[in-house]
Amino acid sequence: MGVGDVGQVGGAGAVPGGAAPPVDLGLLLERQYQEALARIRNPKRIGQGLLLVGSLVAFMLVRSSSDSLRSVVVLIGILLFHELGHYVGMRMFGYRDVRMFFIPFFGAAVSGKKVGVDAWKDGVVTLLGPVPGILVAFILGAQSQPLSPATYALAMSMVSINAFNLLPLGGLDGARLLQLLLFSRHRWLELGFQACAGVAAGLLALKWHSIGLGILAYFMVMLIPYRKRVLGGAKRLRDKALALPRDPAALDGDVGRAVFLEAREAVNPQYRERTPNVAAAMEQLLDAATARHPSVGASLALGFALLVSFVLAAAALFLLVQQRPH
């Protein structure tokens, strides 16, 4: 059996008791499978401090070429405050490997693995990024004393950036929340929403001449075929009635091999021999196959919170306009 050939014994149907059908990967694929498992269980990480500082320096260098140092410092402060909300939420709800970093040309982000985290908590984490900044801007706008020009500019930037982040555009918190509440319940809805959100972001990028938004839109659209393969593989895994663990580190035996085979199919053929790509696909497949959606009550509550956030942002903008320094 050559590299890339797959031998499967016992058929592809469901097995009583949730056991995976016996799988013979062959020597070379078995070696890659074991390497992928080792990478999932012991991932190679860049230190949080090094990642944050290194990405911050890169972000400052890119932004300082077109903006003043003061504007860059204000922007970094707003982004840090926003991402700190996500970071605190992830730590509070038990996400793993939580890391904050900046993205040149675009902004900042926090990543983490939500192993065993309830879906409604993921929605709360999403809102914890933009809502605190909008709330601070509202409080500043509601002050009876006139704001200084510097404070006014800070509040306007804070509400504008965070309100924009609530829009249903590819890669933003608003799109992520709507996908969680509505579109992730069916793979074709999710793919259609990702395409629409990516195209909308691309159109805005062209209108505003935004390099960062354009890059984000490009990747959102270009990743649709890969996401389609991941969701298709997740469906096949569910159809086999396998005893899938929610934690990728718990993958083992023939269940792990079944996930591994679907992961190789999801990855582009030119990257299938790269173990890091396959390991990442295994984690994404398992997350999609074991995903739990928020209850109706939780979905309504989170949707209402999103609506209130927009209203609060509009109110903050209205109050700040009244506070405009003369």
**Collapsing DSSP states into helix, strand and coil, what is residue 113?**
strand
Say if residue 11's pLDDT is above 50.
no
Q: Which residue has the higher pLDDT, 233 or 20?
A: 233
Choose the weakest-confidence range: 21-35, 84-98, 116-130: 21-35
Residue 217: how many CB atoms within 10 A of its CB? 24
Distances (CA, A) of 151 to 82, 129, 211: 17, 21, 28
What is the overall mean pLDDT for the chain? 89
pLDDT band, very low/low/confident/very high, at 233 (cuts 50, 70, 90): very high
Q: How high is the pLDDT of residue 160?
A: 96
| C-alpha 147 chain-centroid distance | 36
- What burial class does residue 17 get, using C-beta atoms within 10 Å of its C-beta: 0-12 exposed, 13-18 middle, 19+ buried? exposed
Q: How high is the pLDDT of residue 249?
A: 93
Q: How high is the pLDDT of residue 19?
A: 55
Q: How high is the pLDDT of residue 24?
A: 63
Q: What is the mean pLDDT of residues 257-261?
A: 95
Q: Write the pLDDT tens digit of every residue in 296-305.
A: 999 999 999 9
Distances (CA, A) of 236 to 82, 117, 278, 289: 38, 23, 17, 9
Q: How high is the pLDDT of residue 43?
A: 86
Per-residue burial over 124-137, b = 16 or more CB atoms within 10 Å of its CB, e = otherwise: bbbbbbbbbbbbbb
Choose the weakest-confidence range: 8-12, 156-160, 281-285, 315-319: 8-12
CA distance 102 to 59: 6
At 93, give phi and psi (nearest 5°).
Answer: -95, 5
Question: To the nearest whole percent, how much of the chain has pLDDT over 90?
Answer: 73
Is residue 226 within 8 Å of residue 262, measured between CB atoms? no
Cite the beta strand spans of 114-155 per DSSP E: none
Q: Which residue has the higher pLDDT, 145 or 227?
A: 227
Q: How high is the pLDDT of residue 14?
A: 37
- Structure token pair of residue 317: 């903008």
Say if residue 17's pLDDT is above 80.
no
Q: Which residue has the higher pLDDT, 173 or 145?
A: 173
| C-alpha 311 chain-centroid distance | 25
Q: How high is the pLDDT of residue 47?
A: 78
Q: Write the pLDDT tens digit of every residue in 209-224.
A: 888 889 989 999 999 9
Q: What is the mean pLDDT of residues 251-277?
A: 94
